[in-house]
Structure 1
Amino acid sequence: MVVIGLGRFGSALARELVNRGTEVLGIDNRPKLVQSLVGQIPHVTTADSTDIEALRQLGVADFHRAVVAIGTDIQASILTTSLLSDLGIPDIWAKAISAQHSNILTRVGAHHVVAPEHDMGERVAHLLTGRILDYVEVDADFAVIKTKPPRDVVGVPLRESRLRSRWGVTVVAVKPQAAIGGQQPGFTHATPDTVLTYGDLILVVGAIDNVERFAATE
């Protein structure tokens, strides 16, 4: 995998990929930054990613996946993404810093666009309101949340709780509050026969408005 742009986001991504056993080529146009990452990222080099010949010489076209993690230089971000598309990279991920930036990246060839600051801001906002303990948006209008069950669904099998008809959500996993055999249990798949108790942690999926409404129920 190629990671282009080794600022805080790009370098953290590259190091984590390396730790997970992925072969990574890191590219940045700042020699001092690249030098500081030698030893952390096995294959890291200084190059101008807006120069298609430089990308060709580095063998970027041979990679299946590339990430454009360039930060505030929007022009370089867009041009790099366009050149990767020209090189035929089949899976291009790009970091955006605004909605307009995201739209342009998609138009010039990015297959996936991420907005770390925006996404984190939304996630924290959800955690700061209501009873949501964790929140992951998996599509434009769909999310998974971690929360505790409201009073209305405690003590009855899930099949009798009418979750879908009342809130439009589904409980997919549960972590019991009480220890079992002296050990604290982890999450297990929920079934129609699962009976929730106060203090359990549950994973709930559904449309964003629905999971938020469910989490706000006492």
Structure 2
Amino acid sequence: MKIVVIGLGNFGMALAVHLAGSGNEVIAADRDIEKIELIKDKVSHAVAIDATNENAYHSLPLKSTDIAIVAIGSEEGAAMMSTAIIKKITDAKVVARSSSTIQDTILEAMGVDQIIHPEQEFAERLTKKINLKGSIDNFEIDDEYLVSEVAVCDELIGKDLIKSNFRSKFNLNIITILRKKEYTNIIGRKSSKKEVIGMPKPETVFHKNDVLVVFGKKSDIQKYLKEDANSTNN
């Protein structure tokens, strides 16, 4: 996809780099020349613009972009003006960062497609991670259900999915498994990264250090983590 990111603070910079790294055509924009220099080799294009100047937006391919993201966080006025200009120019999906409930109301009135709250969302995810002791990462579906990354417990290692009776025992569904794969990097040093093995099959065997991506009730995930902790301590 072609994605325009306006505002290269910590969030905008990281977002633009990750989007580009995952195969998207990213056009990054900020008024700070130093930030443009930092990111220019990591994205498709980097442009220095004043986000409050409508004429400056003609240097961006907004009419042909798929998504426009306003990631400006520190200056609410500039963020609002940038969003208004983008909505005027393009029919693309507009995602805007908000830092207050008042800003939410204004963005909703503008017809922004998606409003994001990076700090708040990170705080909520970290809270869930701390509260679900032993989990690696979590995505909340609603107040009751979660998708969670959990370490494989010792009793499962060496068993296949059928023999483990995982679903009936823990009342959880395994969506996929993340497994470490070793490789040699460009300087000859051995390293490892997690790879998704795809949809687990009945004969899929659990390996040591596997990370299970599971779906289920928060209470059942807590029970699994507690049982894993108890077996580890024993």
CA distance in structure 1 between the partners assigned to 2:82 and 2:142 by the alignment: 26
SS in 2 for 1:161: helix
**CA 1:203–1:56: 2 relative to 1, 3 Å:** same
Unaligned runs of 5+ in 2: 180-194, 228-234
Q: Which residue of 2 aligns with 1:116?
A: 118
Check conservation: 1:92, 1:110, Cα contact below 8 A.
yes
More strand as a share of residues: 2
CA distance in structure 2 between the partners assigned to 1:124 and 1:144 by the alignment: 14
CA distance in structure 1 between the partners assigned to 2:178 and 2:16 by the alignment: 33
Which of 161, 169, 174 aligns to 1:171? It is 174
Which of 117, 123, 127 aligns to 1:125? It is 127
Check conservation: 2:31, 2:51, Cα contact below 8 A.
yes
CA distance in structure 1 between the partners assigned to 2:177 and 2:27 by the alignment: 40
CA distance in structure 1 between the partners assigned to 2:42 and 2:197 by the alignment: 34
Aligned-partner residue type, residue 171 of structure 1: I
CA distance in structure 1 between the partners assigned to 2:26 and 2:177 by the alignment: 37
Aligned-partner residue type, residue 135 of structure 2: L
- Work out the percentage of aligned pairs sharing the same amino acid: 23
2:92 matches 1:68 = no
Check conservation: 2:129, 2:138, Cα contact below 8 A.
no
Deviation track 1:79-132 (CA, whole Å, cap 9, x = no partner) reads 222222222332112223345434443332322222222222222223323444
Q: Which residue of 1 aligns with 2:216?
A: 206
2:199 matches 1:189 = yes
Query: Which shows bigger deviation, 141-150 or 7-16?
Result: 141-150
Aligned-partner residue type, residue 92 of structure 1: V
Check conservation: 1:96, 1:114, Cα contact below 8 A.
yes
SS in 2 for 1:136: strand
CA distance in structure 2 between the partners assigned to 1:139 and 1:103 by the alignment: 24
- 1:68 CA displacement: 0.8
Check conservation: 1:144, 1:204, Cα contact below 8 A.
yes
Check conservation: 1:170, 1:205, Cα contact below 8 A.
yes
Check conservation: 1:102, 1:113, Cα contact below 8 A.
yes
**CA 1:137–1:101: 2 relative to 1, 3 Å:** farther
Which of 158, 161, 167 aligns to 2:169? It is 161
Unaligned runs of 5+ in 1: 164-168, 177-184
CA distance in structure 2 between the partners assigned to 1:103 and 1:115 by the alignment: 13
CA-atom RMSD, angstroms? 3.8
**CA 1:162–1:195: 2 relative to 1, 3 Å:** farther
Which of 26, 29, 39 aligns to 2:28? It is 26
CA distance in structure 1 between the partners assigned to 2:178 and 2:29 by the alignment: 42
**CA 1:65–1:186: 2 relative to 1, 3 Å:** closer
2:18 matches 1:16 = yes
**CA 1:48–1:90: 2 relative to 1, 3 Å:** same
TM-score, normalising length: structure 1: 0.71
Aligned-partner residue type, residue 13 of structure 2: S
CA distance in structure 1 between the partners assigned to 2:75 and 2:86 by the alignment: 17
Check conservation: 2:51, 2:82, Cα contact below 8 A.
yes
Aligned-partner residue type, residue 146 of structure 1: E
Query: Which shows bigger deviation, 8-17 or 193-202?
Result: 193-202
